[in-house]
Amino acid sequence: MALEVGVKAPEFTAECDSGETVKLSDLRGKVVVLYFYPKDDTPGCTQEACAFRDLKSRFEEAGAVIYGVSRDDVRSHAKFRDKHGLNFPLISDPDGQICQAYDVLKEKNMYGRKTLGIERTTYVIDADGVIAAVFPKVKVDGHAEEVLAKVREIAG
């Protein structure tokens, strides 16, 4: 089943950069911004992470929490967080289970070689755990602002 607005967000439990475990059901009552990105410390992913970092207080004012998700391990996430002063958790999904549940693993063609990688995608999950917005094939410029506008709309 395609993940679209109005569908219950897939549950997950995963470790994040701090070593803490994040469970989606524990976040009920908050709007959750779940953004999937391909790789720690690459140019586009760094730009996207820093944009969310810079707007974090505005997301919080709107009642939202931000989580970044990639297949990098916790150690890589911690280095990425520290290098760029990221102020929100990065979820590690090394086996790709969360990525599969959220349908962001796509075949990519890199220099003639086909690989399975994360397609940059953001989900906004409402306080009841239902998908309220989907941003597929994200272009980094202006994306965090676009998500913030949606979060404010959802929060009413």
For the beta sheet containing 90-92, the strands, ordered from the edge strand earlier in sequence to the opposite edge, are: 90-92, 64-70, 31-36, 121-125, 131-135
Q: How far apart are CA 127 and CA 142, in angstroms?
A: 24
Q: Is 124 helix (H, G, I), strand (E, B) or coil?
A: strand
Q: Report the candidate in 70, 63, 53 with the shortest Cα–Cα distance to residue 125.
A: 63
Catalytic residue of the set 16, 45, 50, 99: 45
- Catalytic annotation present for 50: no
Contact 71, 94 (CB under 8 A): yes
Alpha carbon distance 62, 133 (integer Å):
15
- Please give the Cα distance from 127 to 14 (Å, whole number): 19
Return the active site residues: 45
